[in-house]
Amino acid sequence: MSERKNWQEVELGAQLPAATSLGYKTGGWRVLRPIFDPSACTHCMICVTYCPDMAIPVAKSEQGVAGKGGRVYKGVVRLATNLDYCKGCGICAHECPSKAITMMREEEAEQASCKL
């Protein structure tokens, strides 16, 4: 039997620094890749708030970005999907009211990007 410890001496359980899972890239799970068309986007933020993987980064833009109908959208705008973490579930493409996102098979998307 080891020596008895009082409660001040007991070691704490497993502790972790915050947000370490950023080092674990879940993008490798993806079968379908979301292809984002900025010219059709109204920056309504439905895809951003629905994304369960926080894979759609946002930025605040004073000068604005060009979107659907050539309009300039100011304020909080979405950026290109972060493919390091996107698992390709397709919720963003399914819920987008202006159809600015389409899902493409990963290998086709890869080929298409090689041709460019």
Which range in 1-9, 61-69, 88-96, 108-116 contacts other proteins by CB under 8 A? Answer: 88-96
Q: Show contacts with other proteins in window 58-77 (CB under 8 A).
A: 58, 60, 75-76
Q: CB of 68: closest distance to other proteins in angstroms?
A: 16
Positive or negative, the CA dihedral 65, 30, 103, 49 is negative
Helices (H), 1-116: 46-50, 91-95, 106-115
Q: Is residue 21 a contact point for other proteins (CB under 8 A)?
A: yes
Q: Is residue 116 a contact point for other proteins (CB under 8 A)?
A: no
- Interface with other proteins (CB under 8 A), residue total 45
Nearest to 96 by CA among 67, 59, 70, 74: 67
